[in-house]
Structure 1
Amino acid sequence: MTFAETAPRSARAPSDFAELSEIIKQRGLLTRRSHRYVVRFVVNALLLAGGWTAFALLGSSWWQLLTAVFLAVVFAQLSFVGHDAGHRQIFRSRRANNVVGHVHGALVGLSFAWWVSKHNRHHANPNHEDDDPDLDIPLLSFSSTQAQAKRGLTRWTTKYQAFLFLPLLTLEGMSLHVSSVQAVLRREVKAHRLEAVLLAAHVVGYLTAVFLVLSPLQALAFLAVHQGLWGVYLGCSFAPNHKGMPLLPEGERLDHLRKQVLTSRNVRGGRIVDFALGGLNYQIEHHLFPGMPRANLRHAQPLVQRFCAQRGLPYSQTSVIGSYADVLRHLHAVGAPLRAATRP
């Protein structure tokens, strides 16, 4: 699906976002809610400490695989806070947000500066075939152009990508670690010395704890479960937001409102989904106002939806299951021509 099929044209387009912004500002929805994040910091710290305390008390045991599952969830919640810090949702000060971001990056083993740079490029060019880094995934294709360009192993994975999608997400955590280390070693990030120290501290501390407490086989199983499920959790939190939504081809430009709304999908589900997906289920509102605190997104949602309806602008919203179904259908459709080409 392309923008040409979905994007309504409007002579008032340049002023629409300014009008919506004024509505949002009048409701105070761009005001920082730092106290809410302080509570989140405390809760996450207790959960992280509890997980590693349980790990130490259990010792060398296969029950540690349950600890790995629990810590995968905690790591995802820490990652969501790092995401919010990268958007300066927590404090007014860039420095304070960066401190929070670097701490949370160190806790999960990511380069905060690398991730912010990559994520900002995604926000500036959502679902743009050439400029959105989230569409540049070697083993997957999100358009027929990408699919036809694949060769060898990547062409095979594209053919069956709808079936391989979830298994491939188990590699997402490792991919994030590797990309972080590469960015720091290549000095592609500011404060690369600080980032190098933080990443090294995470790797040494994490692996020392795991291999010191567990037998070699148990340690490998723990790493596979913990890192694999963390990757699946993050992938299942980010993928429904844009995958399967219209793509912006080279040369096509839209105003900020339409570019962000038409490429994004919201996920319904109430407070439980809000917590589980770290507020990313309000993807339309988040992309329109990336600095809006997570707790305010649910209040902005009906305002944005009403505004889009008044202008005849499609507003995509579905259930959790429906969002995953949309993603898998899209991946299956993109791989279909390659599968057809191999049939006798």
Structure 2
Amino acid sequence: MSKRLILSALAQFTAKTAGRNMTKAAYVAVAAGVAAMAVLTAGPAYEVAHRWIEAVLWTCLVYFVFEWLVRLRHMAHQGRLSLYMLSSSGIVDAIGALAVPVALIVGVESRTAWLLSILWVLKVVPGIPGLRQLRRVLVLESGPLLSVLVIFLMVVLLASVAEYFLERDVQPATFGSVPAALWWAVVTLTTTGYGDVVPITPLGRMVAALVMISGLGVFGLWTGILATGFAAETRRDNFLKTWETVSKVPFFATLGPAAIADVTHMLRTMDLPARTQIIRKGQKGDCMYFIAAGEAEVELPGKRIALGEGAFFGEMALLGNSVRGANVTTTKVTRLLVLDLVDFRLLMARHPDLAETIDAEAKRRAQENE
């Protein structure tokens, strides 16, 4: 029995590993391996626990080799071996499995070879959603970003030539050539200011001040472009998610694409776990809810009413400008679409048919509660 359980667990583990996404075990291996590599460079700590450190590193390496081989076999069975090997995930998996062994085979000193285990962190990169969003932002905003880059390079070159001309006679060791002055220009324009190279002539310092101010402007532009791009991408992603959710709610099924787009801008999604109170009796009503997925329960005197997917609640307080008349709690994991009071009134004005449906349902519920 125990052997069967072990084989079953191994089969499940292998099936999860065959996928191209990071598993929990892979995250643990990356964290443990990188931590062990860092301790490897600390002489006293390594001398005390070198066996444990090497054991952790070898265990992580064996795991990554096993993971790579499992994925190779899985992709070969699906006829996608070459596609996987040439993909970014396949290349990262190959590097993670082969970098350290190849270094050891060619004769690199052991502690130096294990430094290549830092490459294991690359395995985490494909699974970071924010990086995909960053890539889209960089593509969409490539024009403005390149324009700012050109400005950056122009300022760097102009500042380097100016400082070379002004400082070469008094500081030939540090400003004796334009390439030497480039280091100062980059450090100053990025507002890093190491202080290892400093202009000493009055005109040189004036140029330095202008470069510092220019650096604030250049990086402010870059930051603004990226922040605006991220905000736009976030709104786009949220809009698409909300659109998909809204289109599945029966209440909005009769609306056309333009109307759904209008409604989507008004709604926001809310994901709640089971047994979460959404509405408390006696509170002032400031929004209504549509159930996109899951289930909620309305607690009324002497009875409980279950509301399923497509139902809505909270409208009575908005229509009557009154307080909540009942407690509402989720009974399972639930996704809600929330319509705030101001948007509720706009929706009623723009879509009279929806207003009639909501009003009729509110009257029916009021009669039932009497």
* TM-score range for the pair, normalised by the shorter chain length: under 0.3
Q: Which has the higher strand share?
A: 2
Q: TM-score, normalised by structure 2?
A: 0.18
